[in-house]
A and B are shown apart, each in its own frame.
Chain A
């Protein structure tokens, strides 16, 4: 069980391998998801992610606890960066393990849906035209209703 909030880049391969190596017996499925900075309109100089230290970790731990209540999970990793990053840099990852793949896949999707709109992160995009906060999307809020 781990929630990590950090500004430094992470090594996806190393994280995934370490997660896999730490599993006990019987975990037949490991799912990982990685979020990457998108240059949606073209010309993105940087993306800056602000967060609420303290509440961020607390919110992520609550989201993890909800996932563990709903699915039979071995382990969970939620890693999310803050600070300034460029297009194509990795922002965050989740990893889940379970005996069979359905639990690990569904829990990973649940974690993603919830951390998008229930964990206190805010994205700001910097382009040649200026800077602007990314607006929350109704679809992200709607996505919570399916759980």
Chain B
């Protein structure tokens, strides 16, 4: 079980800010593949991974990152603070 969080337009496309996912995915990329296979709204959100950033347990990382022991994965567009 892993908490998956979405922010900004990723949240809007998927239609929820957070969900708990039952997964055996070993990496972020595998989790993305599982989500894409679910429904069209996930395909829309994950259509272009170069437009997305990912954090595992609140640290920025990349799509190859392992998920072993992770509690929280977040997907979002490039950040626009300041």
A binding-site residues for B, Cβ under 8 Å? 35, 49-50, 52, 54-55, 58-59, 80, 91-92, 112, 115-124, 133-136, 141
Contacts and interface: CB of A to CB of B under 8 A. Distances in A.
A88 to B, nearest CB: 16
B58 interface: yes
Interface of B: 5, 7-9, 55, 58-60, 74, 76-82
Contact of B77 (A52, A58, A91, A122): A122
A118 B80 contact: no
B77 A136 contact: yes
A55 B5 CA distance: 12
A31 B45 CA distance: 41
Contact of B79 (A58, A92, A116, A124): A116
A52 B80 contact: no
B82 A52 contact: no
